[in-house]
Amino acid sequence: MKIAVLSGKGGTGKTTVAASIATSLEQCQYIDCDVEEPNGAIFLKPDIKESLPVKVPVPRVEELKCSGCGFCAQACQFNTLAVVKGKVLVFQEICHHCGACLIACPQGAITEMDREIGVVEYNEDGTFMQGKLNVGEPISVPIIRELKRRVKNDMPVIFDCPPGASCTVVHSIEGCDYCLLVTEPTPFGVHDLKIAEQLVRKVGIPFGVVLNKALQANGSVQEFCGRNDVEILMEIPFSQAIAAYYSQGLLPAEYNPEWKDRFRKLYEKAERGVQG
């Protein structure tokens, strides 16, 4: 089974939940799709053996062939190309690699060159994988695609998704069997939970909620879930002890057998959610 752990905002505890489930299962594959700031490795401590560059095709203009007609710039929907005084300027960082400019050029003056935007790293048996986007790069989807090309089909897979509800999250949850939405009992947490809930409903993936930093009064989250027929699968209390261990790179499932059992049961609840 493939489970995606996501939330509408950062800082709710996605990695806590995703890494704790991975620690609690006898065998699984953990994939950190938060390629702008992957931190699952801090807790799971994998022995990284491979680092493969991720490259994307970007346009290159042969000036001797170029007539300066501007058809390439007109075809580009992302303003990657601009024609100034008959000369084509290429802004490679914002290219979406669609190839429209190659098709539009009547002179055949545009070719493609590879440009490295980040890396994919994994341990020896591929049970831990993470992507790293180069600093300053705006587009991370190609790295997520590369990660998902290496998904194992003979064991459970846990996806630690990026924050928010952008296209990077959509690509991360695509093909998953179940989504865990991690939230917190704050106005921001509830607001962004609504966005994540709308996303997974639109994609059509079964889901449930994990309430992190739970207090005695969690009325706003419970009210939203009750009103929208969403099950709260687990509550993680607002705990100084959990925070202290977390600051040392230790997950609840590592120092307390009871928490390991609870996260294993969380995975089993997700399984039952898929089965209906």
Task: Give 47-78 pLDDT, tens digit per residue.
Answer: 999 999 999 999 999 999 999 999 999 999 99
Cα 4 to chain centroid, rounded:
9
43 and 60 share one domain: no
Strand partners, 36: none
CB 50 within 8 A of CB 28: no
CB 111 within 8 A of CB 86: no
Q: Which of 115, 132, 159 is the last residue of a domain?
A: 115
Buried-state track 218-231, b at ≥16 Cβ within 10 A, e below 16 = bebbbebbeeeebe
Percent of the chain residues past pLDDT 70, beyond the cut: 99
Q: Residue 218's pLDDT is what?
A: 65
144 and 253 share one domain: yes
- Confidence label for 200 from pLDDT (cuts 50, 70 and 90): very high
218 and 271 share one domain: yes
- Confidence label for 216 from pLDDT (cuts 50, 70 and 90): confident
154 and 94 share one domain: no
Q: Which of 86, 115, 144 is the last residue of a domain?
A: 115
107-111, 185-189, 201-205: the lowest-pLDDT one: 185-189
148 and 217 share one domain: yes
80 and 209 share one domain: no
Domain span at 209: 2-47+124-275
Backbone angles phi, psi at 217, to 5 degrees: -110, 100
Q: Residue 66's pLDDT is what?
A: 95
Distance CA 133, CA 38 (A): 9
- Per residue in 97-150, pLDDT (tens digit) is 999 999 999 999 999 999 999 999 999 999 999 999 999 999 999 999 999 999
145 and 259 share one domain: yes
164 and 72 share one domain: no
CATH of the domain at 72: 3.30.70.20
Q: Residue 97's pLDDT is what?
A: 93
Mean of pLDDT over the chain: 93
254 and 271 share one domain: yes
Percent of the chain residues past pLDDT 90, beyond the cut: 82
- Into how many domains does the chain fold? 2
Q: Is the pLDDT of residue 275 over 80?
A: no
Unique residue bearing structure tokens 């007609």? 69
What DSSP element (H or E) covers 18?
A: helix 14-24
CATH of the domain at 159: 3.40.50.300
111-120, 143-152, 171-180, 240-249: the lowest-pLDDT one: 240-249
Instruction: Please state whether the predicted TM-score (pTM) of the whole model is above 0.75.
Output: yes
33 and 135 share one domain: yes
Taking every pair of C-alpha atoms in the chain, what is the biggest distance, in angstroms? Answer: 71
Q: Is the pLDDT of residue 81 over 70?
A: yes
99 and 235 share one domain: no
Q: Residue 276's pLDDT is what?
A: 66
Q: Is the pLDDT of residue 195 over 90?
A: yes
99 and 174 share one domain: no
Unique residue bearing structure tokens 């947490």? 189
Distance CA 97, CA 100 (A): 8
- Confidence label for 11 from pLDDT (cuts 50, 70 and 90): confident
